[in-house]
Each structure stands twice: as structure tokens, then as C-alpha cells.
């Protein structure tokens, strides 16, 4: 009997502190999703929350988007690896040397801890940014072209994948190959408000575009019944993934 594939959904625990995050986590099983701890929650609750979630059996994506000089980012990535993270990220715009230093630090820290290295991915273009936003910071390329350039750089630096909009996923998949991990935020079920996201897709569209992991926060955590919302998205994603794999 083949084991069920892990859920592709990564629930963003965008809470102000540990108490509501843990209240949500208490209602779900680790097989139903991975969890994302971002800046707000990490600053409020610290690495102890990450360790607690890992101890409960959850895959934890520590989403701190490191962007600094290579030595500083390397040290931060090593520390997150020591917390047992399943995935962590840096900004690809930090450059090749920074990403290569992060890669070496993660691998070294994982080997010292006797565990498999977490997925190390790079943020390309934030899903809140439009072409006009990029132009205002001096980037002349449109979001898809710039995301593809940064994805190539991350691949060449030895990273496992990138964070990108699902709209950029097909081009990055063609360029970087079938095992390159594509993590897609900006996911909104049909009919949901886009809030502060600019380049959004539905869960089904993201999977059809080639996304491996779908980061979804408020449509689940802000729902009247978060568990039912998660289950509905998992079902839709699994059905779309099955169609994609059988195509």
C-alpha cells in the first residue's frame, strides 16, 4: 500500500503571539498541513515555538526571509536549522555569495545535528509587488522576468527552490527542472478577497501551474471554521494534483 502524499498546504500562522497559534494547531493533525512561522510570530514567540511545533510532529517552514551579508545570513540559517525547521528561506536579491554561504551553513549545521538538511529556498519577487512597484525600486523587468532571473541564481547557488507567485511557476519549472521546489504564496480560493496580495491564484490554479507547496493564511485561519476550510482546500489541491500527475 502506497503511503499518502503529504499535504501541499502550508498554513501561515500569522498570529500576534503563541496562544492563538497553538489553539489553531491543537485542532489539526500534522498530516493535514505544514505550518509557517513568519516574522510577527517568530519575534513574539521565538525559537521555542518552532521547537515545540517540531516536537509535535509538524513540518515547520521558518519564514524569516534573511537578507544580509553572507556571514550574517549563514549564521542565522545555521541557527534555524538547529531548531529543526523543515524549510527556511533567504532573499535571492541578497546575491549568489549570500545564498551559497547559506547553503553551506545549512548543510553543515544539519550534519552536526545528525538530521536531514531542511529545504533552503529563496524569495524571488514578493506577491504584493506589481511591475510598477518594481520600477519604483529600479527594476526594469516585469515580475515574471525578474522572478525567473532570481530563480536561476538560486538554482546556481545550490538552493532547493524558490518562493514565487504561481503565475511565474510554469516558466521557472521549465527553466529549473522537475525537482526544483516551488513555494507559492498569494493563494486565495475563488471568491476570497485578495487583501494585500497583488499577484494571486486559486489553489487549483497554483497546483496546475506546477507549484509544490501552497502557503495559505487568512483564508484558513480567518475562516469561521478553519478546520473545514483547510479540509476543503486539501481536497481541491489533491484532486488537481491527481489530474496533473495523470495528464
Q: What is the secondary structure of 69-138 as a DSSP string?
A: -HHHHHHHHHHHHHTT-SEEEEEGGG-HHHHHHHHHHHHHHHHHHTSPPPEEEEE-S-TT--HHHHHHTT
pLDDT for the residue numbered 51: 97
Q: What contacts 225, CB < 8 A, 6 or more positions away?
A: none
- The residues with which 9 forms a beta bridge, in sequence order, are 214
Report whether 6 contacts 233 (CB < 8 A). Answer: no
Catalytic site residue from 32, 56, 65, 67: 65
Q: For residue 188, name the pLDDT band (cuts at 50, 70, 90).
A: confident
Domains of the chain: 9-246 (3.20.20.70)
Query: Model confidence over 37-65: pLDDT tens digits?
Result: 999 999 999 999 999 999 999 999 999 99
CB atoms within 10 A of CB 5: 10
pLDDT for the residue numbered 242: 61
pLDDT for the residue numbered 6: 84
36 labelled catalytic: no
Q: And the C-alpha cell for 134?
A: 518594481
Query: Model confidence over 6-17: pLDDT tens digits?
Result: 899 999 999 999
Report whether 122 contacts 150 (CB < 8 A). Answer: yes
The angle, 0 to 180 degrees and rounded to 10, between the axes of the packed helices 47-55 and 70-82 is: 40
Q: What is the pTM of this model?
A: 0.91
Q: And the C-alpha cell for 228?
A: 473545514
Amino acid at each position: 500500500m502506497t503511503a499518502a502524499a503529504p499535504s501541499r498546504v502550508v498554513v501561515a500562522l500569522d498570529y500576534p503571539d503563541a496562544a492563538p497559534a497553538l489553539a489553531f494547531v491543537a485542532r489539526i493533525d500534522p498530516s493535514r498541513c505544514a505550518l509557517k512561522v513568519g516574522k510577527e510570530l517568530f519575534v513574539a514567540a521565538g525559537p521555542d515555538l518552532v521547537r515545540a511545533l517540531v516536537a509535535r510532529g509538524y513540518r515547520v517552514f521558518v519564514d524569516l526571509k534573511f537578507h544580509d551579508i553572507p556571514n550574517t545570513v549563514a549564521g542565522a540559517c545555521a541557527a534555524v536549522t538547529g531548531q529543526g525547521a523543515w524549510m527556511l528561506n533567504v532573499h535571492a536579491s541578497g546575491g549568489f555569495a549570500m545564498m551559497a554561504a547559506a547553503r553551506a551553513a545549512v548543510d553543515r549545521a544539519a550534519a552536526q545535528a545528525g538530521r536531514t538538511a531542511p529545504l533552503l529556498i529563496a524569495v524571488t519577487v514578493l506577491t504584493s509587488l506589481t511591475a510598477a512597484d518594481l520600477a519604483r525600486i529600479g527594476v526594469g523587468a516585469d515580475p515574471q522576468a525578474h522572478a525567473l532571473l532570481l530563480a536561476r541564481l538560486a538554482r546556481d547557488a545550490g538552493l532547493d527552490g524558490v518562493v514565487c507567485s504561481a503565475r511565474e511557476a510554469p516558466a521557472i519549472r521549465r527553466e529549473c527542472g522537475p525537482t526544483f521546489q516551488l513555494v507559492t504564496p498569494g493563494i486565495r480560493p475563488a471568491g476570497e478577497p485578495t487583501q494585500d496580495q497583488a499577484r494571486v491564484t486559486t489553489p487549483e490554479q497554483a497546483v496546475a501551474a506546477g507549484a509544490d507547496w501552497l502557503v495559505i493564511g487568512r483564508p484558513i485561519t480567518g475562516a469561521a471554521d478553519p478546520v473545514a476550510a483547510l479540509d476543503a482546500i486539501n481536497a481541491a489541491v489533491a484532486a488537481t494534483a491527481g489530474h496533473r500527475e495523470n495528464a
